[in-house]
């Protein structure tokens, strides 16, 4: 019996001595804190005021409560623009009528839209220079934007005498109409580029064979590689494409019409 106990003890000790020593499992290293920054850069172009010509003749003074009939059979005028013109006339105290019995006829002669030469928008220097500005200066120092020119002309005729008592014309381009720079938003953020490689390394080094090998030959977990990535610019203000500037045409005609009617001298 004593011999059997001694044999079991020796066998157990011999078995333990044959079990290879393994290094502890590797843990996934903590990730570094990543930064994210948003920059805004703007581009400006030369702007012009609306070109306005307005002439009023004194033969027939225009008085409040005079009636006006709007005629726009030579142009494609929307209901929205017509309502806008009517409101502008009413602000002068004039009465809008649709019958032939009116004191004056307001003829809308021109509602034109034409594309002019492109406008060049140049990158503005930010108050505080930064690396992103230097990069954008190299890649996109300027933008070529579509430019639409809107024109409106009209005249006011005294019906009883057929005398033209007032005529006016105005035009403006889309860049000057919106009057704001192009603004772009850039996102600069840090990203880890080798995270999958590190995870694969941890998994491979936590197998039994790898742990046995590491017991005599330690390994070092790779460091995270962090790179700065800059996203594509996102335009946040300003019309530039042909579609974008064309969308301004209705508002441009409305503004020009209101500016011209405001030139009428009503007693």
Strand partners, 36: 189
105: CB partners within 8 A, 6+ apart: 68, 69, 70, 71, 156, 157, 159
Which pLDDT score is estimated for 132? 86
Q: For Cα atoms 76, 77, 79, give the angle at the middle one, nearest 5 degrees.
A: 140
The full 3-state SS of the chain, as one line of letters, equals: CHHHHHHHHHHHHHHHHHCCCCCCCCCCCCCCCCCEEEEEEEEECCCCCCEEEEEECCCCCECCCCEEEEECCCCCCCHHHHHHHHHHHHHCCCEECCCCCCCEEEEEEEEEEEEEEEEEEEECCCCCCCHHHHHHHHHCCEEEEEEEEEEEEEEEEECCCCEEEEEEEEEEEHHHHHCCCEEEEEEEEEEECCHHHHHHHHHHHCCHHHHHHHHHCCCCCCCCCEEEEECCCEEEECCCCHHHHHCCHHHHHHHHHHHHHCCCCEC
- Nearest residue to 69 (alpha-carbon basis) of 92, 91, 87, 86: 86
Which pLDDT score is estimated for 148? 97
Which pLDDT score is estimated for 44? 97
Q: How far is CA 20 from the centre of its chain?
A: 65
Q: What's the predicted TM-score (pTM) here?
A: 0.77
Side-chain-facing half-sphere of 25: CA atoms under 13 Å: 9
Which pLDDT score is estimated for 175? 96
Which pLDDT score is estimated for 11? 40
The domain segmentation of the chain, as residue ranges, is 24-261
Q: How far apart are CA 250 and CA 245, in angstroms?
A: 10
Strand partners, 122: 44, 142
Which pLDDT score is estimated for 7? 43
Averages of pLDDT over each 10 residues, the chain, 267 residues: 47 52 94 94 95 95 96 94 96 93 96 96 89 87 96 97 97 96 94 96 95 92 94 94 96 97 96
Which pLDDT score is estimated for 129? 79
Q: How far apart are CA 162 and CA 57, in angstroms?
A: 13
- Burial label for 150, CB within 10 Å (0-12, 13-18, 19+), is buried
Strand partners, 111: 152
The answer to whether 112 touches 153, Cβ cutoff 8 Å, is no
């Amino acid at each position: 019996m004593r011999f059997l106990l001694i044999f079991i003890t020796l066998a157990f000790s011999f078995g333990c001595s044959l079990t290879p020593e393994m290094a502890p499992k590797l843990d996934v290293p903590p990730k570094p804190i990543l930064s994210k920054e948003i920059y805004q850069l703007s581009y400006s172009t030369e702007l012009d005021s609306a070109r306005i010509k307005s002439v009023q003749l004194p033969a027939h003074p225009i008085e409040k409560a005079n009636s006006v009939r709007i005629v726009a059979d030579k142009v494609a005028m929307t209901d929205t623009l017509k309502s806008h013109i009517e409101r502008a006339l009413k602000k002068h105290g004039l009465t809008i009528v649709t019958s032939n019995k009116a004191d004056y006829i307001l003829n809308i002669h021109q509602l034109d839209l034409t594309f002019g030469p492109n406008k060049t928008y140049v990158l503005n220097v930010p108050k505080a220079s930064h690396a992103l500005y230097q990069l954008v200066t190299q890649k996109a120092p300027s933008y070529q934007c579509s430019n639409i020119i809107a024109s409106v002309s009209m005249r006011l005729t005294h019906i009883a005498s057929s005398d033209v008592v007032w005529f006016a014309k105005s035009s403006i381009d889309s860049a000057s109409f919106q009057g704001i720079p192009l603004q772009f938003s850039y996102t600069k953020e840090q990203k880890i580029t080798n995270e999958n490689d590190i995870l694969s390394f941890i998994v491979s080094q936590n197998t039994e064979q790898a742990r046995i090998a590491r017991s005599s030959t330690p390994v070092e977990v790779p460091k995270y590689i962090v790179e700065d990535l800059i996203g594509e610019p996102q335009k946040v203000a300003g019309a530039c494409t042909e579609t974008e500037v064309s969308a301004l045409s209705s508002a441009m005609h409305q503004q020009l019409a209101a500016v011209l009617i405001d030139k009428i001298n009503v007693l």
